A and B are shown apart, each in its own frame.
Chain A
Amino acid sequence: MSAAIVGIGELTPVRYSENKTTLSLIAESVAAALKDAGLQKDDIDGLLVGPQVGETPQHVPATVAEYLGIAPAMANTVDLGGATGAGMVWRAAAAIQMGMCETVVCVLANKHEKGHVPTSPNRNPIREFDVPFGASGANTSYALLKRLHMEKYGSKQEDFAEIAYWARKNAQLNPKAMFHGQPLSVQEVLASPMISDPLRLFEIVMPVAGGAAVIVTSEEKAIRGQHLPVFLKGAGEKITHRAVSQAPDTLPFSYSIPHALDQAKMKIEDIDLLSLYDCYTSVVATTLESTGLCAPGEFGDFIQNHTFGHDGDFPLNTHGGQLGFGQADLAGGMSHVIEAVVQLRGEAGSRQIPDAWHALVTGNGATLSETTALVLGGTP
Chain B
Amino acid sequence: MTHLQNISLPGPTITPITKPFWEHLKKGVIMLQRCNTCEEWIFYPRAHCPHCFSESLRWEQASGRGVLKTWSIVHRPGNAAWKPLAPYVVGVVELKEGPSMLSHILTDHSNLAYQQEVEIDLITAGNQPLPFFKVCEEELN
Contacts and interface: CB of A to CB of B under 8 A. Distances in A.
Interface of A: 122-123, 125, 127-140, 143-145, 147-148, 151-152, 193-199, 243-246
21 contacts: A128-B44, A131-B10, A131-B79, A132-B10, A133-B90, A133-B104, A134-B90, A135-B78, A136-B77, A138-B78, A140-B72, A140-B77, A140-B90, A144-B90, A147-B72, A148-B70, A195-B76, A196-B75, A197-B74, A198-B72, A245-B92
Nearest to A132: B12
B59 interface: no
B125 A132 contact: yes
A139 B74 CA distance: 9
Contacts of B69: 148
Nearest to A126: B102
A135 B102 contact: yes
Interface of B: 9-15, 18, 44, 69-79, 82, 85, 87-88, 90-92, 100-104, 114, 125, 128, 130, 132
A194 B75 contact: yes
Contact of A144 (B72, B101, B104): B72
A137 B78 contact: yes
A129 B102 contact: yes
Contacts of A198: 72
A133 B78 CA distance: 12
Nearest to B73: A197
Contact of A128 (B12, B73, B78): B12
B1 to A, nearest CB: 11
B41 to A, nearest CB: 14
Contacts of B132: 133
Sort A-B residue pairs by CB-CB distance and give the 6 closest, nearest first.
Answer: A137-B78, A136-B78, A143-B72, A197-B73, A136-B79, A151-B114
Given A135-B78, A140-B77, A197-B72, 6 more contacts: A123-B13, A148-B69, A194-B75, A195-B75, A195-B76, A196-B73
B102 A136 contact: no
Best-surrounded residue of A128, A137, A138, A143 (most CB of chain B within 10 A): A128
Give the most central of A122, A147, A195: most B CB within 10 Å: A147
A152 B92 CA distance: 14
Contacts of A122: 13
A144 B103 CA distance: 12
A30 to B, nearest CB: 32
A9 to B, nearest CB: 32
B102 A130 contact: yes
Contact of B75 (A123, A129, A193): A193
A147 B79 contact: no
Contacts of A152: 114
Contacts of A139: 76, 78
Contacts of A140: 72, 74, 77-78, 90
A136 B79 CA distance: 6
Nearest to B75: A194
A196 B130 contact: no
A147 B18 CA distance: 30
Nearest to A147: B70
Contacts of B79: 131, 134, 136-137
Contacts of B87: 197
A140 B128 CA distance: 24
A123 B14 CA distance: 9
Nearest to A243: B102
Given A131-B79, A132-B125, A197-B73, A144 B13 contact: no
B16 to A, nearest CB: 12
A196 B92 CA distance: 14
A144 B77 contact: no
Contacts of A128: 12-15, 18, 44
Nearest to B113: A151
A127 B72 contact: no
Contacts of B101: 129, 245
A161 to B, nearest CB: 17
A285 B3 CA distance: 39
Contacts of A144: 70-72, 90-92, 102
Contact of B85 (A125, A134, A136, A246): A134
Contacts of B77: 134, 136-137, 140
A134 B74 contact: yes
A132 B130 CA distance: 8
